[in-house]
Chains A and B, each alone.
Chain A
């Protein structure tokens, strides 16, 4: 199983040729702040993301 290492810096810019990028929203309640984006038009919001990256095998 792959180990997910939490870091401060991206491997490379998102969606560039050398990496695969996936985003996982960090969810909160709409009552916690109005400046977030609504998730899927539903009942949760997000402002921040967990960005997952791995090197592409070229």
Chain B
């Protein structure tokens, strides 16, 4: 694999000098980068949005995000909405590395009442369901979930039929293998390109099945079946994914790559640091959120809405 830096004009000129077919494809790819994204679930995609994470789980990797009663749910929800979240992502099954699958009955038991409760609130916010189970999606559709966020990228045919029939906005995530085994020896030729190709095929498959392209957001799945080097390459080459012509979501909030990078840096300086727990990973999360924003990423998925919003406010005033 080689990398060459060219101006857009030079790139088009080289393509034109080769053939008309080459030029047409080059223009198509540039247009994919430039074309204004249509609203996603009525959200304006020409500005960044924050998605707040609510885990109705006893085993999510970041303990402070675990919600186990209505008062805590109300508190988290209000904090997120008042501090700039456009979307609240609710999940009833942990997808941390090594997590075991929970039964669909248990998952529904965890998420249905909280979603029903939040639907009573008036305001400019959307609820997204973080689930890989069709049955949970169908039940939540009846109680008014706005977006479906599937870590398996709607792998099964019947899930694709459901989202096509209901014309639902969806987030498709890339993950190698399953949460139980995804961190066991993940392999890529070059992660950004492999994952770009995965999404290209997936978007084609979904649109062929009747899903509108404007209803699709992609999530490269930081930490889902990737080594530290794969995650870093994904973050370095994030703008590549705009070539798919759909909005991008990034979730790096409090993930283990932040701990790995910190520990590595300590090691280089001869210091011993064995563990950095999720509650000590906020600064790294904000650094990645700012980076994603500078890469034009439209949705930032985070545990820390207030802090992420504050970082974006400060950054915006400096850069725009």
B17 close to chain A: CB less than 8 A? yes
Interface residues of A in 1-16 (CB under 8 A from B): 1-11, 13-16
- Count A interface residues, CB 8 Å: 41
* Residue contact A25 to B239, C-beta cutoff 8 Å: yes
Given contacts A4-B1, A47-B7, A53-B4, contact A25 B48 (CB under 8 A): no
Q: Is the CB of B48 within 8 A of A43?
A: yes
Q: A29-B320, A42-B296 are in contact. Are A37 and B46 (CB under 8 A)?
A: no
- Which B-chain residue is minimally distant from A51 (CB atoms)? B4
Query: B42: which A residues are within 8 A, CB to CB?
Result: none
In Å, the complex CA distance between A7 and B6 comes to 11
* CB closest residue in chain B, given A19: B2
Q: Does the CB pair B320–A31 fall under 8 Å?
A: yes
Residue of A nearest to B18 (CB): A13
Question: Across the two chains, which residue of chain B brings its CB closest to A15?
Answer: B25
How long is the Cα–Cα vector from A40 to B1 in the complex, in angstroms?
Answer: 26
Total number of B residues with any Cβ neighbor in A under 8 Å: 50
In this complex, what residue of B is CB-closest to A36?
B8
Which positions 269-298 of chain B face chain A at CB distance < 8 Å? 294-296, 298
Name, among B17, B21, B190, B247, the residue most crowded by chain A CB atoms within 10 Å (CB to CB).
Answer: B190
Q: Are A14 and B8 in contact (CB under 8 A)?
A: no
Q: Flag if B320 contacts A30 (CB, 8 Å).
A: yes
The answer to whether B5 touches A23, judged by C-beta atoms less than 8 angstroms apart, is no
- What B residues does A15 contact at CB under 8 A? 15, 21-22, 25-26
Is the CB–CB distance between B33 and A39 below 8 Å? yes
Is there contact, CB below 8 Å, between B6 and A51? yes
B34 near A37: Cβ-Cβ < 8 Å: yes
A3 lies within 8 A of B37 (CB) = no
Do B3 and A5 have beta carbons less than 8 Å apart? Answer: yes
Q: A13 — nearest CB in chain B belongs to which residue?
A: B18
**Which of B1, B19, B33, B37 contacts A23, CB < 8 Å?**
B33
Contacting pair B294 A23 (CB below 8 A) = no
Q: Which residues of B contact A44 (CB under 8 A)?
A: 294-296
Contact A49 B5 (CB under 8 A): yes
CB pair A43–B8 under 8 Å, yes or no, is no
> In the bound complex, how far is the Cα of B239 from the Cα of A52, in angstroms?
13
A8, A9, A14, A43: the one within 8 Å of B15 (CB): A14
Does B47 reach chain A (CB closer than 8 Å)? yes
Of B8, B36, B48, B191, the residue contacting A49 (CB under 8 A) is B8
Contact B4 A10 (CB under 8 A): yes
Contact with B along A18-39 (1 / 0, CB 8 A): 0000111111011100000111
Most buried by A among B3, B7, B237, B243: B3
B-side interface residues toward A, CB under 8 Å?
A: 1-8, 11, 14-15, 17-19, 21-22, 25-26, 29-30, 33-37, 45-48, 188-193, 196, 229-230, 237, 239-240, 242-243, 247, 294-296, 298, 319-320
Which A residues are within 8 Å of any B CB, using their own CB?
A: 1-11, 13-16, 22-27, 29-31, 37-44, 46-54
6 A-B pairs with CB atoms under 8 Å apart are A4-B190, A41-B34, A48-B5, A48-B7, A49-B6, A49-B7
Q: A46-B8, A49-B11, A52-B3 are in contact. List 5 more A-B contacts (CB 8 A).
A: A7-B4, A40-B45, A41-B36, A41-B46, A52-B2
